[in-house]
Structures are given as structure tokens and as C-alpha cells.
Amino acid sequence: MPEFTRLEPHVIDEILRICEVMLAEFDGTQATAAKLTDVRGFGDFESAQQLAAGYKRKAMGTPESAHERVKQFIQALRKLRDAFATGGEAFLDTESDWARQLADTDPDSGAGNSHQSGQ
């Protein structure tokens, strides 16, 4: 296996463009996720208040919350974009770290996702 991978400049440009589009989408998603903490209409019963509090926790404030997961995806994507922007050399150095971060954000992998065991 070669020690380096060479990408044509137009391929790097396309990857950077795709990353920017994805980051713009994630920014919108993060704004939407921030609104998930506005939980109303559950009623005044204690059980209703507990349900609302549970939804609020799932929205923001824990490493597994929607807002934090989107933030983690944004961070991983920015690292990937920055690695390609340097000409791709940094990508080879950060590839395994980037893949680990994405795996940590995958709810189906179980990695870094301890809340699943409590379900």
C-alpha cells in the first residue's frame, strides 16, 4: 500500500464544496435542535412534567443529546474539511481519529453511547 494518496486539485475542491454544503445544513440542524428544549403542552400532572423533562434532556445538556450529537458531527466534518483543505496530507494523519469520532456519534454502533444500555 502506498505511503500517501494523491488527489487531483479538482477532486479536493469538490470535497471542500461538499463539506461546506453539509456544514451549512448541519448549522440549520443545530439551530433546530436548540429549539427542542422548548417543551410545552404536556400538562400539569407530575408524570407529564417528568415526560417533558425527559424530552428536554434528550434535546440538550448530555453528551447523547440531539444538540450535542449535531455538534459532534459538525466538529468531525470541520476536521475532515480542514484536512482536505491542506492538500489532503493531514487527512492521512487524522483519518483514523475522524473515523473514530464518527463511530462515536453513530447511535447504532454502541460506541460512546452509554444511554442505549439504559433503554
For residues 109, 111, 112, 116, the Cα torsion angle rounded to the nearest 10 degrees is 60
Quick check: helix, strand or coil at residue 86?
coil
Taking only the tens place, the pLDDT of each residue in 26-50 is: 999 999 998 999 988 989 999 999 9
Taking only the tens place, the pLDDT of each residue in 56-105 is: 999 998 888 999 999 999 999 999 899 888 865 655 555 666 666 767 77
pTM flag (> 0.85): no
What is the Cα–Cα distance from 65 to 63, expressed in whole angstroms?
6
